[in-house]
């Protein structure tokens, strides 16, 4: 008996999706707050961190990560 497994490249599992949404939201909120309260070069770093947090939230909601797909990382589906 043989089984064929499809690999969903870039697909995220339910636990990883939850971690991305919660962690990304926390990162975005903290970074946005620090971005608004700091100045100079540090402000740009916090702005970038806020954008990264938003990216985690969006990829978590969609359940698909373009970077994972590009790297060939995925989860097996039976």
Domain range annotation of the chain:
13-77
Confidence class of residue 8 from pLDDT cuts 50, 70 and 90? low
This prediction has a pTM of: 0.77
Determine the pLDDT at residue 73.
81
Mean predicted confidence (pLDDT) in 21-38: 93
Mean predicted confidence (pLDDT) in 20-33: 95
pLDDT above 90 covers a percentage of the chain that reads 53
Tokens standing for 65? 């990560």
């Amino acid at each position: 008996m043989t089984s064929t497994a499809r690999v969903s490249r870039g697909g995220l599992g339910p636990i990883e999706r939850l971690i991305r949404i919660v962690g990304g939201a926390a990162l975005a909120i903290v970074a946005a707050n620090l971005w608004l309260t700091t100045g100079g070069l540090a402000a740009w770093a916090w702005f970038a961190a806020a954008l990264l947090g938003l990216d985690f939230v969006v990829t978590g909601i969609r359940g698909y990560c373009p970077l994972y797909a590009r790297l060939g990382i995925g989860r097996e589906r039976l």
